[in-house]
């Protein structure tokens, strides 16, 4: 199998996080836009005035959504694996009506274990560094998409998606640094998440159950706490957690 050029690997790593369009705020059609507490229908009762479903403005929005990720149409079932370095291992087990996978590894002692069953699938995994691991599984009736990029050393991700409907589930994960761990479970219909960690020794654990959940969770820094997020049906959550290193010495 021909070796991947370094710039090709970089392009895959960048594409893994750009394949989601940025989340957009929900537009419920309510007025006045951006002023839920002002004059007009529902005056004084809007979010944050009282908690209605929000409006199309910047204030009082009910949530956000991600753009759809199309599952590529393939003439065959894929699993295109390219490894550069020593001690890398990759396994892909695909069964069902439509499947596609691409695993690219650059470095040493990286591991990918991928399983996809039943309905439509799409996976793209790229690792750049040493001793990174990915365990991923996608099952269900409809479309599913999983994009991952890990860069650094000793990062691990365990990912599971089950799509019970005929819509799609989607995830975009990026880990950059060393010793980061990420665990994601999406079980239901049309659940989407985009998670990113940058730094060292951070942990993310997220579970989305039911239907129509949206999660955007970003961490920048080192040693950040695991928020252990669970959402169960129709929830939308955006979180950014950061730190800038060790606190200043006492007395300053």
pLDDT at 156 > cutoff 90: yes
Q: What percent of the chain has pLDDT over 70?
A: 66
User: Model confidence over 169-221: pLDDT tens digits?
Assistant: 888 999 999 999 999 999 998 899 999 999 999 999 999 999 999 999 999 99
Most confident of 16-20, 116-120, 136-140, 230-234: 230-234
The proportion of the chain whose per-residue pLDDT surpasses 90, expressed as a percent, equals: 39
Is this structure's pTM higher than 0.85? no
Mean pLDDT of the chain: 76
> 225 or 98: whose pLDDT is higher?
225
The residues that bridge with 156 in the sheet, in sequence order, are: 133, 181
Give the pLDDT band of residue 147 (cuts 50, 70, 90): confident
- Among the ranges given (74-83, 124-133, 196-205), the one the predictor scored with the smallest mean pLDDT: 74-83
Of the pLDDT bands very low, low, confident and very high (cuts 50, 70, 90), residue 69 is low
- Tens of pLDDT, residue by residue over 34-67, are 444 555 444 444 444 444 444 333 333 345 666 6
Residue with the larger pLDDT of the pair 122 and 69: 122
Task: Give the model's pLDDT for residue 182.
Answer: 96
d(CA 150, CA 173): 8
Name the range with the highest mean pLDDT among 116-120, 142-146, 157-161, 166-170. 157-161
């Amino acid at each position: 199998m021909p070796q991947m050029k370094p710039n090709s690997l970089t392009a895959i790593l960048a594409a893994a996080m750009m394949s989601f369009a940025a989340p957009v705020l929900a537009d419920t059609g309510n007025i006045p836009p951006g002023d839920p507490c002002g004059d007009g229908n529902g005056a004084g009762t809007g979010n944050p005035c009282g908690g209605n479903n929000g409006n199309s403005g910047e204030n009082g929005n009910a949530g956000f959504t991600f753009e759809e990720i199309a599952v590529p149409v393939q003439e065959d079932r894929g699993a295109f694996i390219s490894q550069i370095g020593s001690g890398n291992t990759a396994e892909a087990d695909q069964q069902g009506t439509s499947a596609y996978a691409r695993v690219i590894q650059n470095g040493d002692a990286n591991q990918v274990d991928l399983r996809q069953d039943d309905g439509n699938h799409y996976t793209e995994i790229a690792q750049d560094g040493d001793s990174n691991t990915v365990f991923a599984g996608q099952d269900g009736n409809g479309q599913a998409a999983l994009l991952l990029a890990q860069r650094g050393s000793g990062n691990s991700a365990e990912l599971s998606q089950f799509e019970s409907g005929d819509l799609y589930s989607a995830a975009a994960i990026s880990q950059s640094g060393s010793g980061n761990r990420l665990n994601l479970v999406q079980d239901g219909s049309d659940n989407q998440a985009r998670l990113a960690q940058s730094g060292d020794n951070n942990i993310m654990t997220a579970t989305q159950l039911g239907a129509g959940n949206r999660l955007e969770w970003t961490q920048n820094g080192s040693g950040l706490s695991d928020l252990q997020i669970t959402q169960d049906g129709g929830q939308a959550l955006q979180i950014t957690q950061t730190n800038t290193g060790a606190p200043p010495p006492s007395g300053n």
